Amino acid sequence: MEPLTMSVENESEAPYVAPKPVKWVATLLSYVAHPLFLPTFFYYWLIQRFPVEFPGLEGKMLQLRLIGVFVTTAFLPGIAVFLMWRLKFISGIRLKTQKDRIVPYIIIMIFYWWMWYLSKNFKDQPAVLKFFFLGIFLTTVGGLSFNNFEKISMHAMGVAGVLTGVLLTCFYYKTHLGADVSIVMIVAGAVCSARLILNDHSTREVYLGFFVGAACQLIGYFVSFLW
C-alpha cells in the first residue's frame, strides 16, 4: 500500500500538462499581451474612446504620438533586453529567472519614469495618462522589490494595471464603457490563466502580480489627482 500512496501523492504534486493546442493558444496570448505592449494598447484605447482629449492632434500627428509611445515603452526596452542577452548578461530574453529580471526591471523603470515625466508636461493629451504612467512606473518598482523574494508575474502586473487603468479612466471621465471593461477583464483573466497553463508561474506569483499591478495604478491615481 505504501508505494501506491506515494505514487498518488506524486501525481497530485505534478504540474498540470495542458494539451498542445491549449499551450499554443496560451503561448500566443502571452506574446500578444506581453507587458511591454500594454502601454501602447492603453494609449490606443484612449485615442479611440476619448479623441477630444487630444486637442490639436489628429490624423498623422496622433499616429506619430502612438508610435512614440510604442518606441519608448516597448521597442527600446525590448532592444535593451535583446542586447543584454546577446552580450550574455542574462541567460535568455524570456527572463525565466529572478536574476535575469533585475537589470531589465531597472531599464524599463527608467523608460516608464520618462513617460510619466513627459505626461506631466504635455497639455495635448488626456490627463489620465499622468496616473497611468505613474502607475506602471510604480509597478516596475514593486516588481523589482518582490523579485528579491519570488518570480512575480510580469504579465499579471501588466494586465491588472491596464484593467485598473480602464476602470479609473471611466471613473475620472464619469462615463460608462461596460463592454470595454468586460473585454479587458476577460483578456486579463485569460492572460493570467495562460501563465498558469504554461507553468511559467505559480498561482501565488500570478495573484501577487495582479495585486501589485492594480494597487500601483490606484496609488498613481490618488497621488496624481487627490494629493
Instruction: Give tens-digit pLDDT for 185-202.
Output: 999 999 999 999 998 889
Contact yes or no for 42/129 (Cβ under 8 A): no
- At residue 12, the pLDDT reads 43
Please enumerate in sequence order all residues whose Cβ is within 8 A of that of 27, keeping only pairs 6 or more positions apart, or say none.
Answer: 194, 198
Single-letter residue type at 82: F
Task: Over range 169-182, report the average pLDDT.
Answer: 94
- Nearest CA to 169 out of 188, 154, 184 is that of 184
Chain position carrying cell 524599463: 108
- At residue 227, the pLDDT reads 64
pLDDT at 5 over 50: no
pLDDT at 226 over 70: yes
Chain position carrying cell 504554461: 198
Percent of the chain with pLDDT over 90: 69
Cell of residue 208, nine digits = 501577487
Residue-level length of the chain: 227
Percent of the chain with pLDDT over 70: 93
Collapsed DSSP state (helix, strand, coil) of residue 34: coil
Q: What is the pTM of this model?
A: 0.89
Q: Where are the domains of the chain?
A: 20-226
- At residue 121, the pLDDT reads 82
Report the alpha-carbon distance of residue 221 to residue 227 in Å, rounded.
9
Please enumerate in sequence order all residues whose Cβ is within 8 A of that of 202, keeping only pairs 6 or more positions apart, or say none.
Answer: none
Task: Over range 15-33, report the average pLDDT.
Answer: 86
Task: Over range 52-62, report the average pLDDT.
Answer: 85
Region of residue 214 (left: phi > 0; alpha: psi -120 to 50; beta: else)? alpha
Chain position carrying cell 476602470: 167
Q: pLDDT by residue (tens digit) across 104-145?
A: 999 999 999 999 998 888 888 899 999 999 999 999 999 999
> Residue 44's Cα: distance from chain center in Å?
15
pLDDT at 4 over 50: no
pLDDT at 8 over 80: no
